[in-house]
Structure 1
Amino acid sequence: MGILVIAEHDNASLKLDSAKVVQCAQQIGGEVTVLVVGHQCQGAAEQAQALAGVHQVIVADAEAYQAGVAENISQLISQLAADFDYVLAAASSQGKDTLPRVAALLDVAQISEVVEVIAADTFVRPIYAGSALATVQSLDDKKVLTVRAAAFDAVEMTGNANLTALDTVIDAKTSFVSQTLTESERPELGGANVIVSGGRGMGSGENFAILEQLADKLGAAVGASRAAVDAGFVPNDLQVGQTGKIVAPELYIAVGISGAIQHLAGMKDSKVIVAINKDPEAPIFQVADYGIEADLFDAVPQLLELI
């Protein structure tokens, strides 16, 4: 039983989500192969070799695959899938863009956002914005799964997998033109151990500066609710929630966030949740481990003084 895991990377290095998807693959059982597809991605491929429990790493390095162009990558994966029973990827923006195309090309149903493996053909996934869990069984010969990485622990980097370079390049009909990346010295939101998020209660984008100060003192990433993003306070790559990033850090500090179900779906699995809100009836307090009923413009400066 062969399992193909699509690596998450930036060409130079492997992202933590890859190690977590490999953990899911190991729970399914079978020989695990990791596919590193990109352009000038040798650095990520070498790191993938170190993933514990991985038998082989396949590297597909070509200009057609740069910037994760899903139209091209999905064609490659569908061709490679002939030798595998499972295709897995993280439920990230890249995975959500690529794997539905793979499932369509293979004419199978995709199982999305897997959070638990019950058996080789049975999985648990959240529905209704995470308020319920569904146990689903797939009878397809080939199973295509996106994995909610936050639900799995990362495997150790103690492996020594074989490395195979793939010479085949698909006939690409889509070409990469350019991209604009947001660069920050803070940790990436999806893999941060500590996240400080702001909501509509912040009042304006300028007020996020106090959250940035708090984040810098804690070595944390900065996040936001959909309401804050829709209001134009911060860019949408900071959005945490059902339609943003799903996170599960060690510590999540929610500042001025009411706790709409859309936001809770993205962060309620955090190990410790601290909520700061002046509204005692705010739904965020129902999931918070610690709640501070106070004006955030009083509470956050006090926290900064204490740290």
Structure 2
Amino acid sequence: MLSSRLTRAGRGALNASLNRAFSSALTRQASSLVFIEHRDGKINPATLSALNAAQQIDDNQIVGFISGSSQTLGFQKAVELAAKLPITKLLVKEDDRLERYVAEPLAPVITSIVQSRSISHLIGGSSSVTKNVFPRIAAQLDVSQISEVMKIIDGRTFVRPIYAGNAMMTVSSEAAIQVLTVRTASFEPIKMDENATGSVEVEKLKEEGEKKKTTGGSQWEDEVLAKSARPELGSAKRIVSGGRGVKNKENFDQVLTPLADKLNSAIGASRAAVDSGFADNSLQVGQTGKVVSPELYIAVGISGAIQHLAGMKDSKTIVAINKDPEAPIFQVADIGLVADLFEAVPELTKKI
């Protein structure tokens, strides 16, 4: 008769072996899900930065998710482009309710995907959309979201800014699912070849998430677009920003616009300028606005409040023009000009 008994050492070795095998199986199955934002048939640059981050966590198992209305040509074009991204699989959800990224119907769909498909990381570029949708997903998954990630150490350890970017915090999470937004200025957007002919598997989702009819929540009403030939602020290579020092809206337009035209740059503004009515809220750069990292950032009449510096200090070259030599903006500027902006900027514009 054969004995089925194992010694204590034998049982320990067997358990360790099973644990290693189970852990390896989980590693093989786990994937990173990248949230793909799009607009007017184009992939949002923030998504390309998120893909860079995903590659640093798991280069082989990256799944993309894109949603929108099948009735729009823009969505169809975006799906075609998404299928050319460096991912292993593309999940497509066609639903008119998801066309405008309203959080209430979108969050449950993504939550369902994460829960049913062995997703270890949900990753998106930091944007107004992910700031609205991702916290809901994290709450539904009962995990903590890690926002504005600037560096990935490993799959569970990340570096993010605190105190308006004046300090970096290393965060280690033991959660089974990591919900991350990444600061786009910290991750170079991946190169996208629109002429590529890849073999990415595309799966159209049927009934992911709940379709409950609710009487509350948000719904899309309308939008008013301000058409501009200028580069989009969040992805512009050159930015001219104005602050409270320009004194009023008329000066803001008359002084900054000619310089921005010469440089073919986007126009930004400090929070003080926005609050004073000099510029629209969509132009705000800073901790509570857009975080940018252009090749050239010209700060005109901006003192350099800590909240503003948090949104632009990663710019490649920073030029500051301010009549106050003690202005904090000069501490981060590569080139500083202590001068009256109403004289310096027009002269600079003429010489370009």
* Two-structure CA RMSD over aligned residues (Å): 1.3
| One-letter amino acid of the counterpart of residue 271, structure 1 | K
Match of 1:200 in 2: 244
The offset of 1:185, in angstroms, is 1.1
Which residue of 93, 98, 103 corresponds with 1:60?
93
Contact between 1:254 and 1:273, CA under 8 Å: does it hold in 2? yes
Alignment of 1:264 onto 2:309: yes
Match of 1:163 in 2: 202
Q: Give the distance between the partners of 1:294 and 1:193, measured in 2 at CA.
A: 25
Q: Give the distance between the partners of 1:61 and 1:234, measured in 2 at CA.
A: 37
Q: Give the distance between the partners of 1:194 and 1:165, measured in 2 at CA.
A: 39
Alignment of 1:35 onto 2:65: yes
Q: Give the distance between the partners of 2:37 and 2:312, measured in 1 at CA.
A: 21
Match of 2:222 in 1: 178
Higher relative contact order (CA 8 A, sep 6+): 1
| One-letter amino acid of the counterpart of residue 319, structure 2 | V
The offset of 1:45, in angstroms, is 1.6
Q: How many residues align?
A: 306
Match of 1:46 in 2: 80
The CA deviation string for residues 44-95 of structure 1, in whole angstroms up to 9 with x for no partner, is 12122222x3112222121111211011111110011121111111111111
Which residue of 94, 104, 114 corresponds with 1:71?
104
Higher radius of gyration, 1 or 2: 2
Deviates more, 1:171-180 or 1:191-200: 171-180
User: Against the structure 1 CA distance between its residues 216 and 164, is the aligned structure 2 distance closer, same or farther, given a 3 Å change threshold?
Assistant: farther
| One-letter amino acid of the counterpart of residue 31, structure 2 | G
| One-letter amino acid of the counterpart of residue 227, structure 2 | E
The offset of 1:181, in angstroms, is 2.5
Contact between 1:38 and 1:63, CA under 8 Å: does it hold in 2? yes
Contact between 2:46 and 2:126, CA under 8 Å: does it hold in 1? no
Match of 1:305 in 2: 350
Alignment of 1:123 onto 2:153: no
The CA deviation string for residues 263-291 of structure 1, in whole angstroms up to 9 with x for no partner, is 00000000000000011110000000000
The offset of 1:256, in angstroms, is 0.3
Alignment of 1:241 onto 2:275: no
| One-letter amino acid of the counterpart of residue 203, structure 2 | T
The offset of 1:166, in angstroms, is 2.0
SS of residue in 2 equivalent to 1:85: strand
Contact between 2:158 and 2:171, CA under 8 Å: does it hold in 1? yes
Contact between 1:108 and 1:140, CA under 8 Å: does it hold in 2? yes
Query: Normalization by structure 2: what TM-score?
Result: 0.84
SS of residue in 1 equivalent to 2:148: strand
The CA deviation string for residues 143-177 of structure 1, in whole angstroms up to 9 with x for no partner, is 10011011001112246233222233641644322
Uncovered stretches (5+) of structure 2, i.e. residues with no partner: 1-29
Contact between 1:193 and 1:220, CA under 8 Å: does it hold in 2? yes
| One-letter amino acid of the counterpart of residue 266, structure 2 | A
Contact between 1:195 and 1:220, CA under 8 Å: does it hold in 2? yes
Which residue of 170, 174, 181 corresponds with 1:135?
170
Match of 2:6 in 1: none
Uncovered stretches (5+) of structure 1, i.e. residues with no partner: none
Q: Give the distance between the partners of 1:43 and 1:139, measured in 2 at CA.
A: 38
SS of residue in 2 equivalent to 1:186: coil
**Among the aligned pairs, what percent are the same residue?**
50
